[in-house]
Structure 1
């Protein structure tokens, strides 16, 4: 009998030219194909027990273990769910955000979200949440052969239903200035205004008014939310600091208050990993960061840093910032 790996899988076709994003969905092995290749249900159960196959959902398997990464797992769940749903289902909400590669924080990934262009029939099951809503053809794009809500529609849908902080993270990502397929602010406004009475639209407007394409990470987006909630002045994002005497570029800081002579930096470890040059280790980066901070202080700038755990209770950090604010 043939090996499991020899079975022809039923994965979606490769993304055709012109797709909104180049995403390769994972290979799935489906029960009908395995049965058609001569495997019995008893053999399939034995393959699952021995770890050769792992169920993604009923009747859909991946060879070996599920990936540890939650986003990769959710992509598997999307691929499996879309094989069982009716042809009018469009991947949407947090599932669409995953396929678009948007930053995500604090939004559950236990269910695959899809939208159907119907008047009724929505349901929330254990594995799939089916939304029903009007969908303009312009709000649908194709990713790896699957219909997916556009980035702008995806942000609007999430902003209507998830808490403010989580929605800002996604919106900032879609607007991010270095993103090749970045969404324009006007596109988000247009999507919301197309159906102004849809539930959650007022909350979504607040999200979009606050969002900014200069935030470079989940931590920076959450920091902006925390700064605003603490009642601190609105900072300058990605402030480029130069030496007052020579104009020499010193560095770009996450947030700054030029008139108050204070800068703020969110310290996520991944931030330093991004700055590594070939052959450079993290210790060199940390030394360079120390020299950069010394140069900022030489410009009579107070430097306040915070980490992930500070974002859960930002009040002490806000107090440190206030204590360092000073007028020229």
Structure 2
């Protein structure tokens, strides 16, 4: 058994099958049988990689599983690394992004996306806890893969969150865009950076804002504080103050009974003060063109008295 395999086996022993582990090593140690693995007693993440079913099934769990099968010279990057930088927007349905050297022959199991690229040693960060150590790219290198590999809206949402959490700054992103000119993906990255706004507090806010700007509409103000006659009326997701137009995204928690009452009262006060309110739900995000059309129409209407 190689030193790397032995180290992984020791991790299994310490976790006692309560974390993420390699099935073959757990069977070899006698901690579990093949029949138990095949029975569904543990959650299968990838081929030969399993997890305690009591752990939340999120993208970070899958990334932790990927660590057990990645080569020693590989590193988690892009949206998968962003989960450790307060941008956990990748879902369990999204492939884990693993960066490997250009010469690497490793392809990875199904569920892992391999991106071949050079990564300097200074662009790797080891995040350790009592159970494991996870290799991820640094915030700036993470930003590069996000900006070059993700769709524009999703890239902006991830970078918005990282800037908002102070893992990145606008200045560092602009500098990275300048220094990266001529590299593969640099044009794409340069289109993403000007759209980043760390004031956004959710992925839906970022997606709607980016869709509006790319459609030629004026950029809204994220997390705008609405006041009327010196009275605070609330902080809203997106606003066009000069048009007194507000867009609010309502996630599932907004439909809880007490929250509905609170929201209705808040919206009534905003409307009474002369503001228009467009309320969006998760279903609206599947038709951003339709959302933009609604906003465009509202921006063209005359202001309400307030």
Fold agreement, TM-score > 0.5: yes
TM-score (norm 1): 0.75
Give the conservation status (yes or no) of the 8 Å contact 2:80–2:90.
Answer: no
CA contact (8 A) 2:20 2:65 kept: no
Residue in structure 2 matching 1:95, options 80, 103, 125: 80
Q: Would you say 1:166 and 2:151 are equivalent positions? A: no
| Alignment RMSD (CA, Å) | 3.2
Query: Per-residue displacement from partner, 1:188-209 (whole Å, max 9, x unpaired)?
Result: 2333434322221111111111
Selected match of 1:81 from 54, 63, 66: 66
Pair 76,182 (structure 1): closer, same or farther in 2 beyond 3 Å: closer
Q: Is the 8 A contact 1:28 1:80 kept in 2?
A: yes
Partners in 2 of 1:321 and 1:240 — Cα distance? 20
| In structure 2, C-alpha distance between the alignment counterparts of 1:29 and 1:319, rounded to whole Å | 53
Q: Tell me the secondary structure at the aligned position of residue 241 of structure 1.
A: strand
| TM-score (norm: length of structure 2) | 0.80
1:309 aligns with 2:292: no
C-alpha separation in 2, matches of 1:136 and 1:194: 15
Change over 3 Å in CA distance of 1:12–1:77 after alignment to 2: farther
How do 1:114-153 residues align onto structure 2 when only pairs under 5 Å count?
114-116=98-100, 118-121=101-104, 124-125=107-108, 126-144=110-128, 145-153=133-141
For residues 38 and 241 of structure 1, the distance between their equivalents in structure 2, rounded to whole angstroms, comes to: 59
* Counterpart position of 1:277: none
Return closer, same or farther for 1:12/1:113 CA change in 2, 3 Å cut-off. Answer: farther
Consecutive unaligned residues of structure 2, counting only runs of 5 or more, are 1-8
Query: For 1:92-147, what per-residue CA distance to the aligned partner results, in whole angstroms no more than 9, with x for missing partners?
Result: 1222123334142689523x32223x453366553433333333444222223222
Tell me, what secondary structure is at the counterpart of 1:129?
strand
Q: Is 1:250 matched with 2:233?
A: yes
Contact 2:79 2:90 in 1 (8 A): no
**Distance in 2, Cα, partners of 1:13 & 1:51:** 22
Q: Equivalent of 1:182, from 167, 187, 193?
A: 167
CA contact (8 A) 1:165 1:222 kept: yes
The alignment status of 1:51 with 2:40, answered yes or no, reads yes
Aligned pairs, how many? 287
Residue matched to 1:322:
299
Deviation at 1:52, TM superposition (A): 2.4
Does 167-176 or 309-318 show the bigger shift? 309-318
Distance in 2 (alpha carbons) for counterparts of 1:38 and 1:258: 62
Residue number in structure 2 paired with 1:196: 181
Q: Please state whether the residue corresponding to 1:131 is helix, strand or coil.
A: strand
Q: Which residue of 2 aligns with 1:218?
A: 203
User: Does structure 1 conserve the Cα–Cα contact (< 8 Å) formed by 2:107 and 2:114?
Assistant: yes
Cα deviation for residue 303 of structure 1 reads: 2.0
Deviations 1:236-260 (A, max 9, x none): 222211122xx12111111222222
Q: Is the contact between residue 75 and residue 99 of structure 2 (CA under 8 Å) also seen in structure 1?
A: yes
User: CA 1:197 to 1:233, structure 2 compared with 1: closer, same or farther past 3 Å?
Assistant: same
More displaced, 46-55 or 156-165?
A: 46-55
Q: CA 1:12–1:293 in 2, change beyond 3 Å: closer, same or farther?
A: farther
Question: Aligned pair in 2 of structure 1 residues 227, 195: CA closer, same or farther (>3 Å)?
Answer: closer
1:9 Cα deviation (Å)? 5.8
Q: Give structure 1 stretches of 5+ with no counterpart.
A: 1-7, 15-24, 274-281
